[in-house]
Amino acid sequence: MLWVTLLGQGPDEKIPGGPFPPQPSCSSLTPHRSRPGPAPIPAATRGGPLPALRAPSGAGPGTALPGGRFGSGAPLPGDGAAERGRSDSCHIMSGDSDCTRTSPSAGSPSDNEFLPDRPKYVCSLSPDLITKAREELQEKPEWRLRDVQALRDMVCKDYPSLGTCLDDAFLLRFLRARKFDYDRALQLLVNYHTCRRSWPEVFNNLKPSAIKPVLESGFVTVLPRLDPEGRHIVCIRPDRWTPSNYPITENIRAIYLTLEKLIQSEETQVNGIVILADYKGVSLSKASHFGPFVAKKVIGILQDGFPIRIKAVNIINEPRIFKGIFAIIKPFLKEKIANRFFLHGCDLNSLHQNIPPVILPEEYGGTSGKLDISAWNELLLASEEDFLHDFSQLVLPCDSSPQDMLHDCTARKTFSTTTVMNF
């Protein structure tokens, strides 16, 4: 069953049979830890913001929005097609593009500056999260833009036809996911795009409206409260899936879009997320749909091809066969990830040691009311245009070449500015 989609990420060793072909080595590049002190970065070279996915003023972990909702789902002022048409924040590289022109190094001459409509990056992290990012992710605010520029230059040099967004905010999530190790962040970015091209059943036409039946089933949702560490809880319920209605790849698409929406938040990039998977009612026949091919693909994506920190995976109501299946899959997991799995069975007290009851719905012995999937569904569906203009255009059919990915910058739109609230 889809339980293997609940995996986090770790070091970048490759999984046998995974979706990523061998990539050119970056061993000759200077690693993060040996870099010199930062050079001054002219204001004109600073990149654009990924709008903060923040809580209302005064909100903190475990605090819900009025009505327990994520927000109206309406775009922020300035969001929408007209605004995106004015501000192109994604620079797409082509084989004949001038990387120096579109992606200058810090301190480059004025004739090598970014295009004039490139928005500036503004950090949305609180002082506490800035400190946390420094301690856990090796992120130094005084070096942040220089680190982003270093990754941008590496992409232009080593993968000029990758066809990726070069925004500061977009590249920053890959640096954070790999603790500002340039080489590993670059490999993660390459894997991120490679996996989309290698699995068209999942990534072609990937947008919220295309997976609306999955959302309406309640297969995947996000609880409206953060845990004490400021992390969103992603709830997955495989029993809500009826195999005769749609294939298992639709479930994977829904999970992927959910993670894409969450990772737009800088707070989530730093804090990570927690998974709660309820396997009540999952039969062996349903689990059989999750074969070795799908398992390896999903493991490869979430361990080596997606910039998110999955800090814990809580499994509840798992059938007896689950432990046997987990023993088979465990060799494909990094040790750090395998140690983040917690099997609670039917013991709600055990679950509450990991996730406080105040965060959980009544279905899991919590005190936050009935599980309501409508707020998250509305928020994700309201992001339709953002997803269309962000990454669905970059997905290739199996017989396409990397050159087919290249797009005119003027056809691109800004990255999502729809707000996900932390509360």
Q: In the block, which residue shows the tokens 């309501």? A: 372
Is the pLDDT reported for residue 385 higher than 80?
A: yes
Show the CA angle centred on residue 214, arms to residues 212 and 216, nearest 5°.
70
Question: Residue 31 — very low, low, confident or very high, per pLDDT cuts 50/70/90?
Answer: very low
**Which of 9-23, 114-128, 193-207, 221-235 has the least mean pLDDT?**
9-23
Output 216 or 119, whichever has higher pLDDT: 216
361's tokens:
């719905």
pLDDT for position 155? 97
Distance of CA 192 to the CA centre of its chain: 10
Question: Residue 284 — very low, low, confident or very high, per pLDDT cuts 50/70/90?
Answer: confident
Question: Residue 325 — very low, low, confident or very high, per pLDDT cuts 50/70/90?
Answer: confident
Is the pLDDT reported for residue 267 higher than 90?
A: yes
Most confident by average pLDDT, 78-92, 125-139, 155-169, 374-388: 125-139
pLDDT for position 170? 94
pLDDT for position 140? 98
Q: In the block, which residue shows the tokens 């609940």? A: 6
d(CA 383, CA 224): 17
Q: Sketch out the chain's domains with CATH numbers.
A: 2-11+205-380 (3.40.525.10), 34-49+78-201+393-411 (1.10.8.20)
Is the pLDDT reported for residue 184 higher than 90?
A: yes
64's tokens:
């819900």
In one-letter notation, the amino acid at residue 115 is L
Output 114 or 270, whichever has higher pLDDT: 270
| Mean pLDDT computed over 180-205 | 95
Is the pLDDT reported for residue 25 higher than 60?
A: no
Question: Residue 320 — very low, low, confident or very high, per pLDDT cuts 50/70/90?
Answer: confident
pLDDT for position 391? 58
| Mean pLDDT computed over 65-70 | 40
Is the pLDDT reported for residue 1 higher than 70?
A: no
pLDDT for position 90? 43
Is the pLDDT reported for residue 232 higher than 60?
A: yes
What sign does the CA torsion over 353, 358, 360, 366 have?
positive
Residue-wise pLDDT tens digits, 197-231: 999 999 999 999 999 999 999 999 999 999 999 99
Question: Residue 106 — very low, low, confident or very high, per pLDDT cuts 50/70/90?
Answer: very low
Q: What is the DSSP string of 84-137?
A: HHH----PPP-TTS-HHHHSPPTT--GGGPPPTTPPPP-----HHHHHHHHHHH
**Which of 44-53, 283-292, 316-325 has the least mean pLDDT?**
44-53
| Mean pLDDT computed over 243-257 | 96
- 3 state SS of 404: helix
Q: In the block, which residue shows the tokens 């609180």? A: 126
Task: Assess contact for 151 and 103: CB atoms under 8 A.
Answer: no
| Mean pLDDT computed over 367-381 | 96
pLDDT for position 199? 93
Alpha helices in 182-315 (DSSP H): 182-198, 200-203, 212-217, 248-263, 266-271, 284-287, 292-304
Question: Residue 118 — very low, low, confident or very high, per pLDDT cuts 50/70/90?
Answer: low
Output 332 or 244, whichever has higher pLDDT: 244
pLDDT for position 323? 78
Q: What does pTM read for this prediction?
A: 0.70
